[in-house]
Amino acid sequence: MAEERSKAAGAAIVGGGLGLAAGLGIGARRPVRAVPNNKLEAILDDTFEIKTTIGNLSNVLLQLINVLAPRPVAFPDFPPYNVRKFELDTAKTKDDPQEVNLPGDALTFHTDGTLDGIWFAMDSPTNDWIPIGEFGNPYVYPATFQRFYLSWSAQASKYLRVHIGREAGAAAAVEITAAAPKQVFYTIVSDKDTHFTSSIAQNAKEDENIPGFLGNKIRIVGLVILSDQQLHYRVIFWRKDTFDDTDLDVDSFISSQELDLSLDGWQIGATGQWYLAITSLNIDYEDEDTTNELHISLQNLSATAKNAGATGEVVLGVIYEMRA
């Protein structure tokens, strides 16, 4: 019975369509013919497929419109970011914090001191306070804030710089998921007059804490060295500024990489400093002091000692990516 009703309904639909076509003069030269019952099921199947295809195409078009349509800008009256600097000589308490009356949705912090003891709160000083060192840097807010507040312990002659971002990660830009994401990298470089200035005998090392990381969790992807002397060096990475220790539970070793200028180094015009770059590294590094510093040692593996001062200058560059 159900099959007969389906056939009858199909015949009515097809017949009605043919009658409408005839009434509009479509195919007027052709006589309207009855459709045999044995072909109704095939016609109904074809009609269902066409309807399904049109429905799917409609959904695809709606999705495409949503992707390509410009999204409203969250902060039309502000630039993409602002940067503010604060001197840390005088403490700011949570009861009397530093107010920053700028909106955004992401914060990035940098200091030439330590991030320990620096806190921030979103929109109101009565909201929960967030320690920078524990919750990531940069910090991407899950919504938008209109202002934020800062509290810090005093650090003589030190400063805090804050990058206030908007449209976190350019989220309001057109998103095409098929496009490959762009990986952003950063560089931190030692100072020849401040770092690795001592004489280093064979197998000895010099330790340095180099500031400037944008966060305390990074991935090192490359190393660059410039050196007055053609020596065989090893670069050693540590988690803390305590470096190595005879107690294995305290030792903060992470990884190392050799830079052999005696084998792979080169000069320009056979004179001047020696160069070497190592790329495609994959070293996960965490500064557990949360000072956003690179805790690093330069070890001399050559029989010739590294000179102190102007004749033994070394510059190290670390290329890195941010990690969550």
200 DSSP assignment: B
Q: Which of 16-30, 69-83, 192-206 bottoms out in mean pLDDT, i.e. has the lowest?
A: 16-30
Is 70 exceeded by the pLDDT of residue 35?
no
Q: What is the mean pLDDT of the chain?
A: 82
Query: What is the rounded CA–CA span in Å between residue 137 and residue 322?
Result: 9
Among 113, 123, 153, 120, residue whose Cα is nearest residue 139:
120
Query: What is the rounded CA–CA span in Å between residue 107 and residue 81?
Result: 10
Q: Is residue 31 very low, low, confident or very high in pLDDT (cuts 50, 70, 90)?
A: low
Query: What is the rounded CA–CA span in Å between residue 140 and residue 132?
Result: 12
Among 99, 101, 82, residue whose Cα is nearest residue 163:
82
Which token pair is 95?
């009861």
Q: Is residue 124 very low, low, confident or very high in pLDDT (cuts 50, 70, 90)?
A: very high
- Topology alike, domains 81-170 and 186-322: yes
Amino acid (one-letter) located at 71: R
- CATH architecture, range 81-170: Sandwich (2.60)
Q: Is residue 39 very low, low, confident or very high in pLDDT (cuts 50, 70, 90)?
A: low
265 DSSP assignment: -
The number of helix segments (H) and strand segments (E) in the chain equals 3, 17
Is 70 exceeded by the pLDDT of residue 11?
no
Reduced to 3 states (helix: H, G, I; strand: E, B; else coil), residue 17 is helix
Which token pair is 81?
């970011």
Is 80 exceeded by the pLDDT of residue 181?
no
Other beta carbons less than 10 A from residue 123's beta carbon: 15
Mean pLDDT computed over 287-294: 90
Task: Determine contact, residues 188/210, Cβ cutoff 8 Å.
Answer: yes
Give all strands of the β-sheet with 139-145 in edge-to-edge order.
81-87, 159-165, 104-111, 139-145
CATH level 3 topology of 186-322: Jelly Rolls (2.60.120)
Tracing tokens 């330069």 back to the chain, one arrives at 298
Q: Phi/psi zone of residue 308: left (φ > 0), alpha (ψ -120 to 50 degrees), beta?
A: beta
Among 263, 265, 256, residue whose Cα is nearest residue 228:
265
Percent of the chain exceeding pLDDT 90 equals: 53
Q: Is residue 5 very low, low, confident or very high in pLDDT (cuts 50, 70, 90)?
A: very low
Listed ranges 91-105, 133-147, 190-204; the one with the highest mean pLDDT: 190-204
pLDDT at 176: 38
Percent of the chain exceeding pLDDT 70 equals: 75
Q: Is residue 307 very low, low, confident or very high in pLDDT (cuts 50, 70, 90)?
A: very high
Q: Greater confidence, 114 or 15?
A: 114
The domain ranges of the chain are 2-68, 81-170, 186-322
CB-based contacts of 250, cutoff 8 Å, min separation 6: 242
Count of residues in the chain: 324
Query: What is the rounded CA–CA span in Å between residue 286 and residue 275?
Result: 27
Q: Is residue 69 very low, low, confident or very high in pLDDT (cuts 50, 70, 90)?
A: low
Q: What pLDDT, in 10s, does the model give residues 227-284?
A: 999 999 999 999 999 999 999 999 999 999 999 999 999 999 999 999 999 988 999 9
Q: Greater confidence, 165 or 64?
A: 165
